[in-house]
Amino acid sequence: MAEKLVECVPNFSEGRNPEVIKQITDEIEKVKGVKLLDVDPGYDMNRTVVTFIGEPEAVGEAAFRAIKKASELIDMSTHTGSHPRMGATDVCPFVPVSGVTEEEAIELAKSVAKRVGEELKIPVYLYEKAAQSEERRNLAVIRAGEYEALPEKLKDPKWKPDFGPAEFNVKAGATVIGVREFLIAYNISLNTREKKYASDIAFELREKGRSARRPAGKPYYFKGGKIIKYQEGKYPCGSCDFDGKTIQETIEHCKTEHGYDLVELLKLNNIDPEHPEGKPVKKPGMFKNVKAIGWMVDDYDRAQISINLTNYKVTSMHHVLEAARKLAAERGLVVTGSEIVGMVPFDALLESGKFYLEKQGRSRGIPVKDILETAVQSLGLRDVSDFKIEERVLGLPKNSDDALVEMKVSDFTDEVSRESPAPGGGSIAALAGALGASLVSMVSNLTAFKRGSENVDEILNNAAEKAQKIKDELIHAVDADTNAFNDYMEARRLPAKTEEEKAKREKAMLEGLKRAVQVPLRTAELSLEALKLAAEVVNYGNPNSITDVGVGAQIAHTGIIGGIYNVLINLKDIDDEEFNAEMRERCRALRTDADKLVMAVELSVNAKLNQ
């Protein structure tokens, strides 16, 4: 069962006083089962984004304590900053990470919101997936007018808080709590001090778009032109010079000619599609799930496009950055780099790395850490401050410090040579398979994307990517095999004085033995996949590296045989005929396929060596 993990990313309206920020984060770290991942203060914004993760109940408690401390230390009546805000804790989103459903996260958000409202007397609004009504899903709509608008806003029955009193809390303001997808807070830096240029590009990028302008004789948006507004009997398009006689005509035109839904766009901008007279015509933005504004950051002495990517699986960092680079160039500007505020999901940075490798005409089948570094460099993430992958990437695959694979080669071989039974043949088989996959990847990468390789680039690139995944899983199996053996030995040491203890011990031993079979079986299967790739790459690889493919095939074959040996020896102690028969048949099929493949690769290598 997956570990239950929830991320919480509260934004506090304090970015200038380190002592205040420390007191708030101390409250978070006091809660057992919570890990503080990142604290990112912004002086000009006067705002700090905090990221922590843990089990749902612990995260909820930590969030409440942090909100409480912020309400005690931050006085909103004297607060100023460049970022929109409405409370000491401006927003507190919960993000389900693993083992937690969206519904469970929503219940967590509601329970925290209830405590904040009742115990701290702070008005609380629920947003995004926890919103009680469609009108309150959007944070920008809830926060409109900011802290200064709260006294009047709270008198309006339409803006009665979801929790807490409908009374103005002068010191703490109001708080927005909810559940959302992982949001990447992403800023793009420009070589200008003019905020208007950053805002101009932000309006082009964001989903909400902008008010359309049409200078005389020009059908599209040009800077400085008059804003187009809907007029009675005339419903112009915001992307061209079409003037419909009815709103329905314009809606159909926009769908057919430009591929966007005008009704949704109007609603996004709080315009009733049935009564748009006098409202600005909206030109849709370039990207879905993107919110953006422009601002000036004195600390960096440049303007930035501040972006929230609300669903990076639809629109990610490289999408908006490449578009921003083009828009900046059209305005005589240069994007100097970008920054991530807080944490970034592993797969988001990985996809950006693969995107830039492809643009560079390079293989994507390289080690994960190299792909991530490509993303960091290509996105310019070290432009305004350092970016450490191991500290800023959430879900980064890594081994424990005491893992066998973290040892130096000399230390690992020493460990294997000692009198202890593990690590033994199973771990070595996994390592052999991993090395075989590595050699296949190496030859693929040495051959692909070179002059004359155009016809086989995709074949070799796919082979390299598959080999990297096999390598990574087999590296994990080096420790998994030893751990499975140790678990079995622990089961053998269980007490067996009573019948109940004996039965419990027998059950634990059987489960341990079956795990000790499954791990080397998986090693053999993965090693066979590496051998299949070798059989493919031997036909397309650089002739100067043909022996490397041969070595890769031979050592992958060793991984298969080693895995099979460890399956068979552990089956001897398992009293389960059906399970044993199935495992032996799978081993037989693996061995047959392996022997055929390694022979075929050897014949191909020898033939090319003798040419």
Report residue 160 CA to chain centroid gap.
35
Euclidean distance between CA atoms 77 and 93, whole angstroms = 24
Residue 297 CB-half CA count within 13 A: 24
Residue 83 appears among annotated catalytic residues: yes
Beta strands at 175-179 and 235-236: parallel, antiparallel or unpaired? unpaired
Euclidean distance between CA atoms 102 and 181, whole angstroms = 9
**How many CB atoms neighbour CB 415 within 10 A?**
15
- Burial environment of residue 48 by CB neighbours within 10 A (0 to 12, 13 to 18, 19 or more): buried
Question: Taking a C-beta distance cutoff of 8 angstroms, is the pair 206, 200 a contact?
Answer: no
Of 377, 384, 322, nearest in space to 353 by CA: 377
| Count of residues in the chain | 611
Residue with tokens 């996994």: 430
Euclidean distance between CA atoms 342 and 40, whole angstroms = 6
Q: What is the DSSP letter of 231?
A: B
Euclidean distance between CA atoms 298 and 193, whole angstroms = 9
The catalytically annotated residue of 40, 90, 481, 548 is 481
User: Helices marked H in 30-122 — which ranges?
Assistant: 56-73, 102-120
Query: Which whole-number Å values give the CA distances from 590 to 98, 392, 429, 440, 571, in the listed order?
Result: 34, 41, 14, 20, 16
The catalytically annotated residue of 38, 40, 83, 479 is 83
Residue 411 appears among annotated catalytic residues: no
Structure tokens at 542: 């650089």
Euclidean distance between CA atoms 443 and 434, whole angstroms = 15
Catalytic positions are 83, 481
